[in-house]
Structures are given as C-alpha cells and as structure tokens.
Amino acid sequence: LPVNDDLLEKVFITVKTTGRNHLTRLPVIIRTWFQLAKKQTWFFTDTNDQHLSQVTGGHVINTNCSATHSRRALCCKMSVELDVFLETKKKWFCHVDDDNYVNVPALDELLKMYNPIGDWYLGRTSTPKPLQIRAKSQKTTFWFATGGAGFCLSRALVLKMAPISGNGKLMAIGDRIGLPDDVSVGYVIEHLLKIQLTRVEQFHSHLEPMRLIKKDLFNEQLTFSYSLDNEPNTVDVDGFNEITDPTRLTFNVSKFLWITTTVIGHVKS
Ligand code: UDP
Ligand code: MN
C-alpha cells in the first residue's frame, strides 16, 4: 500500500438523478462539492446527455431505468449503482440523491474510522421506530438508512448482498416487500443478512428541518439537502438569500469558502 494513501480514492460516490433534473439540480453540485471529488463521483441517470457527460469528465451512467419516480424505477437505479460499484476496486460505496450536498472532507474523515473489510452500513434513519412489515406471514422489523440523506456501505457488505440483491435482483426484493429502494436495501442488510445499521446522524435529508443544523457544526456534517416546495426547507447560512441562492448549497460548508457568485446565475437558469 502507498504510504500516503488517499482515503477518498477508496470511495465510489453515486448520485441518483433523472433527465429532467440535469439542468435544475446538477449545476449546483458540479460547481461545488463535485469539484472536490471529481474522480470518485458518478451520476446515475436515465437519459443520454452529452453536455452532462462533458462537464463531468464522462462520469455519467445511463442506467436505462425508466424515468419515473416509481418504486421499480428507483430500485432499478439503486441496483445499477451497486452493480457498477462492484465492477470497481473501490472499498466504499456511498449513495446520495441529486438534492444532497456532500461535505467531501468530512466523508473522508468518517470512512477513516471504519475498516471496509468489515460489514458496514452507515446512515441516518428518518423513522422514530424500526419499520415493521409482514413477510411470508411473519412480522419483521428492521431499520433502514434514508436514501435522501446519503448512506455508505463497505465493499465486504455489498459483496454479501450480491447473491441476494445483485444483478438487478433488488427490484424483485422491492416488489416482494412493496417498498422503495432505500427500504429494500435496509431489508436486505438488516433483515436478510442480519447486519445492523450504524447510525450516523451527520447525514441529512430534507425530511428534517435543515435550519435546525447549527452553523458552528456545519463542517462536521456529512450531507445537507433542501426542498423548495411550498414550504422551502433549506440550510440557514448567512450571506445568501432566496433569490441569489435558492438551494443554499453554493456555500462550500466544508471550508467556509464562498463559491463565486457567478455560479448562482447558473442555478437559476
Ligand atoms: N428521481 C429519479 N427519477 C424520478 C424522480 C426522482 O431518479 O423520476 C430521483 C431524484 O433525482 C432524486 C431522488 O430520486 O435523486 C429523490 O427525488 P426527489 O428529491 O425529487 O423526491 P423526494 O423523494 O426526495 O421527495
Ligand atoms: Mn429529495
């Protein structure tokens, strides 16, 4: 092993996206945290996009999954993300949504704390109780990490999942339990493989109020998110407002540096 082993080199970061989000959600990612993890990050989508391919150095994978928000389509994408990861030699798989900001240096620090030779399922739950389902007329409860907050799996674990959910079989699992992709992943890991989720509260989805994340703890957080629906839910950062930066992600939280304001024009258009 090289002495100055760059841990980030060991990570494969997947961003789940869809054709109609390419121009609305990806520019802010590409201008910010993607720049710190260009070699590690890949966009998993459902349409061919020459421009996206060009600005990401070819880091776009067309999963050929359908471009809908259906459970099957999302399980299809997640299963391609996991299958492609196994084709790499990377030690860690980290999934995020296209409305996540990844604090790259913090992610690096997190993964240094765990050995990828072990089975690790790192993420944040968004339900107060474990999920209870009825499978084969048996009650089962399990936890799952919210996909929209981002989660990481060690290679050892993804290898164990492969016979059960690899090669597209995650879709069948989703069909069987009738639940979304992130829940299906939790079902495979916690229920079928009996490996427990390690809760990491620094992953964040827009299911939580983003404004509750304290400013002085920003640099310890692993991910952020936003939603701009009727009731906007965004990280509370000084200096930007709704008009100049609707997502509040152009602020490079990890280094407390402002990304140039010229970026902001791109976000809006
Ligand atoms: N997504 C997708 N296909 C769709 C709709 C959404 O792959 O047809 C992806 C989207 O790019 C995002 C994730 O699924 O990464 C969650 O979508 P969104 O944030 O729009 O909805 P949420 O489930 O968070 O309310
Ligand atoms: Mn979302």
3-state SS string over 31-77?
HCHHHHCCCCEEEEECCCCHHHHHHCCCCEEECCCCCCCCHHHHHHH
The pLDDT of residue 64 is above 60: yes
pLDDT band at 267 (very low <50, low <70, confident <90, very high): very low
- Is the shortest distance between the CB of 18 and ligand 1 below 6 Å? yes
- Is the shortest distance between the CB of 45 and ligand 1 below 6 Å? no
Of the ligands numbered here, which is closest to the C-alpha atom of 24? Answer: 1
131-135 and 138-142 beta bridge pairing: antiparallel
Looking at ligand 1, which residue's alpha carbon is closest to its atom 22? 148
Q: Examine the residue annotation and report whether 182 is marked as an active-site residue of this protein.
A: yes
The pLDDT of residue 135 is above 70: yes
Please identify which of the residues 46, 49, 98, 182 carries the catalytic annotation.
Answer: 182
223-225 and 92-97 beta bridge pairing: unpaired
Task: Give the model's pLDDT for residue 246.
Answer: 80
Look over the chain and give the mean of its residue pLDDT values, rounded to a whole number.
Answer: 88
Please tell me which of 89-98, 100-109, 215-224, 229-238 the model is most confident about, judged by mean pLDDT. Answer: 89-98
ipTM above 0.90, yes or no: yes
- Is the shortest distance between the CB of 97 and ligand 1 below 6 Å? yes
The pLDDT of residue 260 is above 70: no
pLDDT band at 237 (very low <50, low <70, confident <90, very high): confident
Task: Give the model's pLDDT for residue 251.
Answer: 60
The pLDDT of residue 268 is above 90: no
Q: Given ligand 1 and candidates 74, 78, 151, 249, which is best to mutate, with the most ligand atoms within 8 Å of its CB?
A: 74
Q: How far is the CA of 213 from the centre of ligand 2 (A)?
A: 17
Q: What is the pTM of this model?
A: 0.91
3-state helix, strand, coil in the chain (%, to 5): 35, 20, 45
- Is the shortest distance between the CB of 17 and ligand 1 below 6 Å? yes
Of the ligands numbered here, which is closest to the C-alpha atom of 96? Answer: 1
Residue, of 257 and 12, whose pLDDT is higher: 12
